[in-house]
Structure 1
Amino acid sequence: MEGMDDAELARLLRAALLGDEKAYSAFLTGAAALVRSFVRRRVGQGGLDPEDVVQETLLAIHVKRHTWRTDAPVGPWLYAIARYKLIDAFRRRGSRVEVDLDEIAETVAAPQEDRPSSREISKALAALAPGQRSVVSAISVEGRSIGETAASLGMSEAAVRVALHRGLTAIARKFGRGENGNR
């Protein structure tokens, strides 16, 4: 905590709640160091910028400072806010993995020799049952999400996933591609 213990942070926050701006500035400096250490230990290589989480946490602390009980330790209160802001950041990031484009530039720039023509795509879609055709076309051709497709077709997301899987499996079987994409 850069020399500040819980009692000192609590004293500063109490003074800040009574209007002492210098105490509030010192409290935020100490809280930032505490939160920064907490977040950095938990982010690791998680694809998040720890400083973004620290700033969001400090903003939440500012907005919610009135919720701290002046007779309670300040550390657990800070950690709880930081933990929730970290969880929010991981949720926003989702299951996406962020990759630096410079690392994969050659792969991305490589021409796709085995890409099907629009005629082949039409032929593959025509071989499907109407429900599967709608789902595969919406997701694989139009680029819609599972949720968007489910809403537009009046289906559940689970039903869309099943139809997509079955449709792609049928196309793979009909056009001679095995499970791993080999002909």
Structure 2
Amino acid sequence: MLAERRGDAVAYEAFLRDFAASMRRIITLHFRRMSLGTGEVEDVVQEVLIAVHAKRNQWDARRPLVPWLNAIARYKAVDAMRRLQRQARGRVDLSDEEWSTLFVSTDPRHDREAVDVEKLLSELPTGQQAALRAVALEGASHREAADRLGTTEGAVRVAFHRSLKKLMAAAKQRNSE
């Protein structure tokens, strides 16, 4: 960091690279401990690096660097974990394989189940029906569905995940009957 202040861009780049590697390990460990997916780790690392870079002139060179870096990293990581925990409450994470088989059945009762799925879909609010049909049944991306439905990508994501949550709850209820 001192070398950066003297204009040594190569040393600063090496510092950021080493710091990023350290942050990846630490944040990955914390995310696993909190049962959060590690897919967001790189985003958090980048947020930390941007914050360090933006605030680098605020570091007092007469004081230790590591506590200053740790404070920035801790605040960014805690913010990200809180945000991800809030988002995870309504999120349904499925693999590509799970998505591809979500509405496919080789069971001879398929026709009856298709009617059941249609009935469940018809019980959803109109916006959730449209989002689910566009994304899950027609294969549109969230952005394409948003353009088609005249809404935002975020609204499609929310409607889609809420509809899946409702369908899954309804399916569980029917299976338990």
Query: TM-score, structure 1 length as denominator?
Result: 0.51
For residue 112 of structure 1, report the CA deviation from its aligned partner.
3.3
Distance in 2 of aligned mates of 1:83 and 1:113: 51
1:116 is paired with a residue whose SS is helix
CA distance in 2, matches of 1:108, 1:87: 37
Tell me the number of residue pairs that the alignment of Structure 1 and Structure 2 aligns.
Answer: 120
User: 1 CA distance for matches of 2:25 and 2:125?
Assistant: 43
Q: Which has the higher helix share?
A: 2
2:19 is aligned, of 22, 26, 31, to 31
Please state if 1:113 is matched with 2:115.
Answer: yes
Letter in 2 for 1:61: V
Aligned: 1:100 with 2:95: yes
Asked if structure 2 preserves the Cα contact closer than 8 Å seen for 1:48 and 1:89, the reply is: no
Please give the alpha-carbon distance, in whole angstroms, between the structure 2 residues aligned to 1:108 and 1:77.
Answer: 51
Q: Which runs of 5+ in 1 are unaligned?
A: 1-12, 122-138, 145-176
Structure-2 separation of matches of 1:56 and 1:116: 45
1:54 aligns with 2:48: no
* Contact 1:53–1:89 (CA under 8 A) maintained in structure 2: yes
Partner of 1:80: 71
Q: 1:47 is aligned with what amino acid?
A: G
Distance 1:25 1:77 in 2: 18
- Is the contact between residue 36 and residue 51 of structure 1 (CA under 8 Å) also seen in structure 2? yes
Separation of aligned partners in 1, 2:79 and 2:31: 12
TM-score by length of 2: 0.53
CA contact (8 A) 2:36 2:84 kept: no
Tell me how large the CA RMSD over aligned residues is: 3.3
Shift of 1:104: 4.5
8 Å contact kept, 2:28–2:38:
no
1:43 CA displacement: 1.9
Which residue does the alignment assign to 2:3? 15
What displacement does 1:117 show? 8.5
Q: Once the 2 structures are TM-superposed, how far is the Cα of residue 65 of structure 1 from its aligned partner?
A: 0.9
What's the counterpart of residue 126 of structure 1?
A: none
| Identity, % of aligned positions | 34
Match of 2:59 in 1: 68
Deviations 1:37-63 (A, max 9, x none): 211211225224222222222122111
Write the letter of the residue equivalent to 1:16: E
CA contact 1:16–1:24 (8 Å) conserved in 2:
yes
CA distance in 1, matches of 2:67, 2:103: 47
Q: Equivalents in 1 of 2:56, 2:29: separation in Å? A: 24
